[in-house]
Amino acid sequence: MSTDILKCALCGLPVEIEGFSLETVDGIKSFCCAGCLSVYSLLNGEKIKE
Ligand SMILES: [Zn+2]
């Protein structure tokens, strides 16, 4: 139970690189790549904190 792998909030792949994350009303979401981040922000624009 020591592995704490983040999964991409959009596609579910393991997040290997930190840096693609977004603060939303549901908390911090992490993404595997800039593409997933931008798609998520398009789909959930109203949830994202500025
Ligand atoms: Zn992804």
| Residue 44 Cα to ligand 1 middle (Å) | 15
Ligand 1 centroid – CA 43 distance (Å): 14
Handedness of CA 12, 13, 14, 18 (dihedral sign): negative
Number of compact structural domains in the chain? 1
Q: What pLDDT shows up at residue 21?
A: 95
Distance 2 CA to ligand 1 centre (A): 23
What residues sit around ligand 1, an ion, with C-beta below 5 angstroms?
A: 8, 10-11, 32, 36
pLDDT at 36: 97
Ligand 1 centroid distance, CA of 1 (Å):
23
**Rounded average pLDDT over 19-40:** 95
Residue 11 sits in which domain range? Answer: 1-50
Q: What gap in Å lies between CA 16 and CA 32, rounded to an integer?
A: 7
CA–CA distance, 38 with 46 (Å, rounded to integer): 14
pLDDT tens per residue, range 1-25:
557 789 999 999 999 888 899 999 9
pTM: 0.83
